[in-house]
A and B are shown apart, each in its own frame.
Chain A
Amino acid sequence: MTASIDIKNVTKRFGSLTVLDELSLSIPANEFVVFLGPSGCGKSTLLRMIAGLESVDSGEILINGERIDNQPPGQRGVAMVFQSYALYPHMTVGDNMAFGLKNISVERSVIDARIAEAARMLEIGHLLDRKPGQLSGGQRQRVAIGRAVVKEPKAFLFDEPLSNLDAALRTRTRIELAQLHQRLKSTMIFVTHDQIEAMTLADRIVVMNNRKIEQIGAPMEIYNRPATRFVAGFVGAPAMNFLPVKIRVEDGLVTAATDAGLCIKTAIPSEGLAAGDYELGLRSEHVRITPPTGDAAEGVVDVLERLGERTLVYVRLNDGQQIVGSDSGDSRVSVGDRVGLAFEGAKAHLFDATGKAWHGRESGHG
């Protein structure tokens, strides 16, 4: 089973604190959507409103076109996997999975068949008689997913389900979740503050911040064409470099200049851009390390992060601004060296004072 989910002008307040403000979002059936945003931005609240665990102050939530925000959680036909797993501690794994089906009087033979199928898929068949207390974190996680799967819900809701796992298990479970989605062909909403989870799992990412949606888009679209300065800074590791600049126009394209005299030619069309203060954004992979140049694009290496396939170089420019550039994995630079920086201006983004982003024609195509 699968379903589309529509969220229309939804507002949520806790006392005087407005957590979500007139938020709208459409999720087509079968899509894997990730809500991404910093802690406290209201991702869980939105998910819990879809599940029915949190009331809606105004607006509507529809599943398959049917309004459900006035229905009790159980009747909405969604299943949720909690960050804490929320397994019933005194029931065996099998009973945990059967509970939701027993409550709606599903036949025992059907329940057993579904549990067997889910247990086979998640490789938890040997755990069915154990209690949650006797399981490891990763096993509990699988049981929690299994409990959702057997309900054959219209949509799966995941609230940071991987954050209690260790790094290796997190990566593995991430891949398995992607496979699960392909196999079940079901709508899935996944909440996380981890952009790598978002990038790897999502068909579409919904970036949330400060009571509203900043951007909705496919992972690479979010990465290459961030709609706002917030998205640009939040998505991508290390964070994008931002330089305060003044702009001027050359051949219809923007050239940005810092106060220190650094000049970067971009591929951003100048139409619609007023004169004024801007910030230039460039990802570290578009700033290469070169031998010292003797001009403004030169600085001293502060910190080195060797990631194996490449090296991140934190360079302090003469005016004190720090820029993260990248060099090859076997880079010979060391801390304290003077190095030059080569900016790939064609990949640069420009952000105006309101945070809105302007992109070059090229960005998004490599």
Chain B
Amino acid sequence: MADPVNGNARRAESVDIYAPQWRNFLFVAPYLFIFAAFLVFPLFWGIWLSFHKADTFSSGPFIGFGNYARLFRDGIFLQSIWNTFYFVFLTVPALALIGLFLALCLNRQTRSAAVLRTLFFSSSVLSVTIVTLIWRIVYIPDMGLLSMIYGFFGAKAPAFLSDPDIAMIGIAIATIWWCIGLPMMLFLSALQQIPQDIYEAAALDNANRWQTLRSITLPSIKRTFVLVVIIQIVFQFQLFGQAWLMTKGGPNNLTKPIVLYIYNTAFQRWDIGLGAAASEILFLLILVAAMAQFLLTRRKADA
């Protein structure tokens, strides 16, 4: 029969360096405080707000799912959801694939590769204001860079800022140019983690370039690919600056993403309850998209 008192006493004598120690909590406390104050609290406050009729000066009565019902009767909101998905669909696969392609091309020790790596990454440090400025200069009708190039061949440049069919594509191109640095760098660091000797083994195993890429390189960076896609989904769902600065959501609300809808609703029309409800929808969409991606790829990796 074990004596619980003695048992505990004996256990206390031996040292377990992995045992949790409460004083370690002090080290994470500052971050935890900020996390709670600026992320967790607003999250729940936002949820609370979305169930109320609220404007700037007062939070009105509880109206249950009233705000949500209004949202789904609002054609512009539904349009903005569609726009956002369309934008994510345009940018995320392109960012992942182009980033991978650039990383594969630039994963060498030469000086020119180093210069190009820096060049491709450098756009990432620009602020969205500068990025949209640059791309407005490219797109602007009649005098922009694009017009000049098309004009040289005697053609007329597509109107990326005003043609309803391609305005979102114009924003997507600017966004890909702006964001390509991070995926490329993540892929590069993943490629550099692959041990050289398995490439040597593959060379002795008669693998040609394509077989090496398919059987050695791509499987080795699968996890990074998932990471890049999740990061980009979370990030691109929050499109705001480029759309606001390049097209103001137009033409005809066709480039208005959810965040811009939230901004218009909450801070221009001051319908804070409705804006909060739209925010919660966006939060859910990002969560579901990222989780689905994660679960899907994890299941495949296990099989």
Report which A residues bind B (CB closer than 8 A).
Answer: 51-53, 72-75, 78-80, 82, 84, 86-91, 99-100, 103-104, 147, 151
Given known contacts A88-B215, A103-B211, A78 and B204 CB-to-CB distance under 8 angstroms: yes
**Which of A53, A91, A151 is the one whose CB lies under 8 Å from B203?**
A53
In contact, B200 and A99 (Cβ under 8 angstroms): no
Contacting residues, chain B, for A78 (C-beta < 8 A): 204
Q: CB within 8 Å of A: which of B193-222? A: 195, 197-198, 200-208, 211, 215-216, 219-220, 222
Contacting residues, chain B, for A80 (C-beta < 8 A): 200-201, 204
Q: Quick one: which of B195, B202, B204 has the most chain A CB within 10 A?
A: B204
Given known contacts A90-B219, A90-B220, A100 and B198 CB-to-CB distance under 8 angstroms: no
A86–B220 CA distance with the chains assembled, in angstroms: 13
17 contacts between A and B (CB under 8 A): A53-B203, A73-B204, A74-B206, A79-B204, A80-B200, A80-B204, A84-B195, A86-B195, A86-B197, A88-B198, A88-B201, A88-B215, A90-B219, A91-B219, A99-B215, A100-B207, A103-B206
Distance to closest chain B CB from A45 (angstroms): 13
**Which of B206, B211, B215, B222 is the one whose CB lies under 8 Å from A91?**
B215
A88–B200 CA distance with the chains assembled, in angstroms: 11
In contact, B197 and A99 (Cβ under 8 angstroms): no
A98–B299 CA distance with the chains assembled, in angstroms: 25
Nearest 7 CB-CB pairings of A with B: A74-B206, A100-B205, A86-B197, A90-B219, A86-B201, A103-B206, A73-B203
The range of chain B's interface size is 10 to 19
**Which of B198, B203, B222 is the one whose CB lies under 8 Å from A74?**
B203
A366–B206 CA distance with the chains assembled, in angstroms: 48
A87–B215 CA distance with the chains assembled, in angstroms: 12
Given known contacts A99-B215, A103-B211, A75 and B201 CB-to-CB distance under 8 angstroms: no
Name the residue on B nearest A84 (C-beta).
Answer: B197
A106–B211 CA distance with the chains assembled, in angstroms: 15
Name the residue on A nearest B201 (C-beta).
Answer: A86
Told that A84-B197, A86-B198, A89-B198 touch, could you supply 16 new A-B pairs with CB distance under 8 A?
Answer: A51-B200, A52-B204, A53-B200, A74-B204, A80-B204, A82-B197, A82-B200, A84-B195, A88-B215, A88-B216, A91-B215, A99-B202, A100-B204, A100-B205, A147-B201, A151-B205
Contacting residues, chain A, for B222 (C-beta < 8 A): 90
Contacting residues, chain B, for A79 (C-beta < 8 A): 204
Report which B residues bind A (CB closer than 8 A).
Answer: 195, 197-198, 200-208, 211, 215-216, 219-220, 222
Contacting residues, chain A, for B215 (C-beta < 8 A): 88, 91, 99
What total count of A-B pairs have CB within 8 Å?
A: 62
Distance to closest chain A CB from B73 (angstroms): 50
In contact, A51 and B220 (Cβ under 8 angstroms): no
Distance to closest chain A CB from B299 (angstroms): 16
Contacting residues, chain A, for B198 (C-beta < 8 A): 86-89
The prevalent SS among residues of B at the interface is helix
A75–B208 CA distance with the chains assembled, in angstroms: 11
Contacting residues, chain A, for B197 (C-beta < 8 A): 82, 84, 86
Name the residue on A nearest B208 (C-beta).
Answer: A103
Contacting residues, chain B, for A151 (C-beta < 8 A): 205
Name the residue on A nearest B198 (C-beta).
Answer: A86
Distance to closest chain B CB from A81 (angstroms): 9
Contacting residues, chain A, for B206 (C-beta < 8 A): 74-75, 100, 103-104
In contact, B220 and A99 (Cβ under 8 angstroms): no
Contacting residues, chain A, for B200 (C-beta < 8 A): 51, 53, 73, 80, 82, 86
A52–B206 CA distance with the chains assembled, in angstroms: 12
Contacting residues, chain A, for B195 (C-beta < 8 A): 84, 86
A88–B194 CA distance with the chains assembled, in angstroms: 10
Distance to closest chain A CB from B302 (angstroms): 11
Name the residue on A nearest B218 (C-beta).
Answer: A90
In contact, A52 and B203 (Cβ under 8 angstroms): yes
**Which of A52, A74, A82, A84 is the one whose CB lies under 8 Å from B205?**
A74
In contact, B220 and A89 (Cβ under 8 angstroms): yes
**Which of A52, A82, A90 is the one whose CB lies under 8 Å from B201?**
A82
Contacting residues, chain B, for A74 (C-beta < 8 A): 203-207
A104–B207 CA distance with the chains assembled, in angstroms: 8
Given known contacts A88-B215, A88-B216, A91-B215, A103 and B207 CB-to-CB distance under 8 angstroms: yes
Distance to closest chain A CB from B205 (angstroms): 3
Contacting residues, chain B, for A88 (C-beta < 8 A): 198, 201-202, 215-216
A91–B202 CA distance with the chains assembled, in angstroms: 12
A72–B219 CA distance with the chains assembled, in angstroms: 24
Distance to closest chain A CB from B210 (angstroms): 10
Distance to closest chain B CB from A282 (angstroms): 43
A73–B197 CA distance with the chains assembled, in angstroms: 13
Distance to closest chain A CB from B200 (angstroms): 5
Contacting residues, chain B, for A87 (C-beta < 8 A): 198, 201
Name the residue on B nearest A78 (C-beta).
Answer: B204
Distance to closest chain A CB from B149 (angstroms): 42
Name the residue on A nearest B197 (C-beta).
Answer: A86
Contacting residues, chain A, for B207 (C-beta < 8 A): 74, 99-100, 103
A143–B171 CA distance with the chains assembled, in angstroms: 52
